[in-house]
């Protein structure tokens, strides 16, 4: 068994928008890469057309990523990446053992919310499809300037077993990092 096989796999799905240096999720992924260190293998695929994202091509990319993962995986979704991961997991039977799901500033697309985009809307029963995921964490800034804080409340209502981390300030991109996320991942 090679050293690579012993690393914990982390699949990070980035936000919408440009992902070049210091844009979108790029600073957050660089921070995670540095802070998680050598015992984690951070997979950070470039999702299709992030400037004008659509669910179907992102879903196809997720299928490719999941097909390559062997063993346990830790999932992280940032902003739209989090919403897409949740929708994907709620639609699909997946074989992977997911040791943790971490959602950062994820928008909630669904009934009872002002953000209505059909392709991202979660099915009513989405929570029942996530029962195999033992640890779920949500991180959201009280004054997030992009995804309103109220979105977190919708997730808390649907997924009461999830641990929520309410963060001070207005961060959405977490360009300077997110220490609680690293602590939570290492605490699994």
**Residue-wise pLDDT tens for the chain (188 aa)?**
444 457 999 999 999 999 999 999 999 999 999 999 999 999 999 999 999 999 999 999 999 999 999 889 999 999 999 999 999 999 987 888 999 999 999 999 876 777 878 899 998 899 999 988 989 999 999 999 999 999 999 999 999 999 999 999 999 999 999 999 999 999 99
* DSSP result, 81-128: HHHHHHHHHHHS---S-EEEEEEESPPP-STTSS---GGGPPPTTGGG
Helix/strand/coil for 44: coil
Model pLDDT, residue 37 = 93
Model pLDDT, residue 2 = 46
Model pLDDT, residue 6 = 78
Other CB atoms closer than 10 Å to residue 10's CB: what's the count? 22
Domain that holds residue 151: 3-186
What is the domain-level CATH number for residue 82? 3.40.50.1820
To the question of pTM greater than 0.85 for the whole model, the response is yes
Model pLDDT, residue 5 = 55
Element holding 160 (H helix, E strand): none
Q: How many domains does the chain have?
A: 1
């Amino acid at each position: 068994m090679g050293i690579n096989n012993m690393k914990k796999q982390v699949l990070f799905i980035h936000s919408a928008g440009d992902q070049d240096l210091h844009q979108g999720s790029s600073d957050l992924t660089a921070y995670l890469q540095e802070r998680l260190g050598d015992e984690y293998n951070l997979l950070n695929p470039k999702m299709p057309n992030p400037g004008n994202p659509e669910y179907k091509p992102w879903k196809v990319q997720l299928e490719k990523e999941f097909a390559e993962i062997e063993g346990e995986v830790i999932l992280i979704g940032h902003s739209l990446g989090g919403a897409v991961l949740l929708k994907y997991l709620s639609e699909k039977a997946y074989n992977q053992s997911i040791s943790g799901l971490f959602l950062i500033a994820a928008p909630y697309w669904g009934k009872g919310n002002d953000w209505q985009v059909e392709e991202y809307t979660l099915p009513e029963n989405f929570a029942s499809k996530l029962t195999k995921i033992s640890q779920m964490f949500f991180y959201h800034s009280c004054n997030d300037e992009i995804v309103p804080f109220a979105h977190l409340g919708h997730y808390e209502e649907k997924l009461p077993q999830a641990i929520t981390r309410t963060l001070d300030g207005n961060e959405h991109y977490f360009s300077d990092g997110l220490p609680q996320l690293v602590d939570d991942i290492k605490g699994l």
